[in-house]
Amino acid sequence: MLQDKNSLTDKEKEQVVNLIKEGKVVPKELLYRLARDDEDVFLFWNERSEEVTNAVLPFHSIEYIDEPREEISKTQQIGLFATDDRGRQLKGWTNKLIWGDNKLILSSLVNGPLKEEIEKEGGVKLIYIDPPFAVGADFSFDIKIDGDEVTKKPSIIEEIAYRDTWGRGISSYLAMMYERLKLMHDLLADDGSIYVHCDYRVNSYLRLILDDIWGKDNFRNEIIWCYSTMQTVKTKFANKHDTILIYQKSEKVIYNTIYETYPEDYVRRFRYEDEEGKFMIRSKTGQGDLTLEDEKRNPKETYRQYIKIGSLPKDWWEIDMINSNAIERLNFPTQKPEALLEQIIKASSNEGDLIADFFCGSGTTCAVAEKLGRRWICADLGRFAIHTTRKRMIDVQRELKRENKPYRAFEILNLGKYERKYFLGINTDLPEEEQSRQLEQKQGQYINLVLEGYKAKRVKGFKILQG
């Protein structure tokens, strides 16, 4: 019997086993041939793992913010049973700004008690993420405060995240993104979409792992976002665009056509004035001109309806970067223009839908979502990002209040604040025996929580060592 030349021989299989036993590197060519029957194309990088965390960590509420409502209560005397609907928190869902590692946040949303609340709201219909893609970035950047430039240094938790993300270069980045994208796929509603924002440094990598997770048939669009910035590089073509990759969960997907206004020079090709100065539209075929009477008889034969409605959207968008003097500018290094997020949110969600951003940065996604009447979950690891987003959303609440428009309160949650004093609190009014029983039970839950978070194994027989 002839052996497939691409299969491993018995001698090569023995070689692989011996190399593994000796702790040596197995040649990649042998590994590829070993897995050749699994898939036609297989993506491999150092640290790739199919395992996805399923840890469920409790969210701790840090702050509940309904700023305009609080201001009213301080300045007006409202009776105990009186109501004041001006700018009040809408009933139901409270928006969530979450501070912590988005891998654990996602895992806790997918597997924890909040999942039921999310599904009750119809599920997450849209996820937009703008993950870090500057390979080698160290989470440090310069910001201006009262005219002075200050370097914002990374916190300890951000330094740990930096090592996890870029410690071994692109393979670390892919391992980080792969697990998070798989969790996002689990969280997204069946009729939902994900928009992944990237640039030339990582777009080819992300396209491949998105194909791997979502399936290449669920790729929907590659949007090219073109923008204008001052040109400073003279040795190559200037980088003037980013890429946004769009994938859908299934064929049943939310999509609203956002018509684009025709440019004036295009409209002029079909518009003219007759000898009497009357506004005229040329025929669709361009073969001669139609009189106003002709147009009244056959309105569909003119370009007027198309010019009025606008053109169908294309897969390249011309939206400028935020002007240095713009009101929305927050001097946050990765801030994206609201016009960009407005186009995305309008196209792939409806009013009242729940959307999410797990690398929220300056909070553009939640700001636009709030203005467009969507509900939101936003998260970030950086303390400065959470602080910036919090302040921005308070301003949005106030703006909507002034315009007499509805808005939702939002709460700031923390994932990772697990000091014993926050976790092991008990009712001191109970009998001592009951207090001891509850304390012992909570102590066991606390230890299990920490061990699960680190994927550690519980051990017994030690006084201090738990796992």
Tell me the pairing of strands 316-318 and 219-226. Answer: parallel
Residue owning tokens 């300045």: 75
Is the pLDDT at 233 greater than 80? The verdict is no
Q: Mean pLDDT over residues 62-70, rounded?
A: 77
Sheet strands side by side (includes 316-318): 60-65, 410-414, 95-99, 375-380, 354-357, 124-129, 188-198, 241-248, 219-226, 316-318
Per-residue confidence band for 57, with pLDDT thresholds at 50, 70 and 90: confident
Are the CB atoms for 107 and 120 separated by under 8 Å?
no
Which residue did the predictor score with more confidence, 125 or 318?
125
Q: Which of 40-49, 276-285, 430-439 has the lowest mean pLDDT?
A: 276-285
* pLDDT reported for residue 83: 37
Q: How far apart are CA 49 and CA 453, in angstroms?
A: 17
* Confidence label for 62 from pLDDT (cuts 50, 70 and 90): confident
The answer, as to whether pTM is greater than 0.85, is no
The contacts found for 222-228 with CB under 8 angstroms, 24 or more apart, are 222/246, 222/315, 223/195, 223/315, 223/316, 223/317, 224/315, 224/316, 224/317, 225/316, 225/317, 225/319, 225/340, 226/316, 226/317, 226/318, 226/319, 227/318, 227/319, 227/320, 227/321, 228/320, 228/321
Residue 367 has pLDDT above 90, yes or no: yes
Tell me the pLDDT band of 392, cut-offs 50, 70 and 90.
very high
Among candidate residues 328, 442, 316, 434, the one with its CA nearest the CA of residue 391:
328
- Asked if the model's pLDDT at residue 445 lies above 90, the reply is no
* Confidence class for position 173, pLDDT limits 50, 70, 90: confident
Instruction: Give the model's pLDDT for residue 247.
Output: 98
Backbone angles phi, psi at 451, to 5 degrees: -65, -40
Least confident of 188-197, 295-304, 361-370, 455-464: 295-304
What is the band of 87 on the pLDDT scale with cuts at 50, 70, 90? very low
Percent of residues, the chain, with pLDDT higher than 70:
70
CA dihedral 294, 295, 300, 301 (to 10 degrees): 60
pLDDT recorded at residue 320: 85
Look at residue 138 and tell me whether its pLDDT is greater than 70.
no
Q: How far out from the chain centre does Cα 290 lie?
A: 50
Q: How confident is the model at residue 286 (pLDDT cuts 50, 70, 90)?
A: very low
Question: CA 356, CA 366: separation in Å to the nearest integer?
Answer: 8
Domain 60-257+313-414 CATH class label: alpha beta
pLDDT band at 84 (very low <50, low <70, confident <90, very high): very low
Beta carbons of 365 and 379 less than 8 angstroms apart: no
Higher pLDDT, 234 or 168: 234
Residue 281 pLDDT greater than 60, yes or no? no
Q: Are 125 and 355 in contact (CB under 8 A)?
A: yes
Q: Looking at residue 42, what is its pLDDT?
A: 72
Using the predicted structure, report yes or no on whether residue 429 has a pLDDT greater than 60. yes
Dihedral angle, C-alpha 411, 417, 418, 424, nearest 10 °: -50
Contact 387, 358 (CB under 8 A): no
Segment 278-286 mean pLDDT: 49
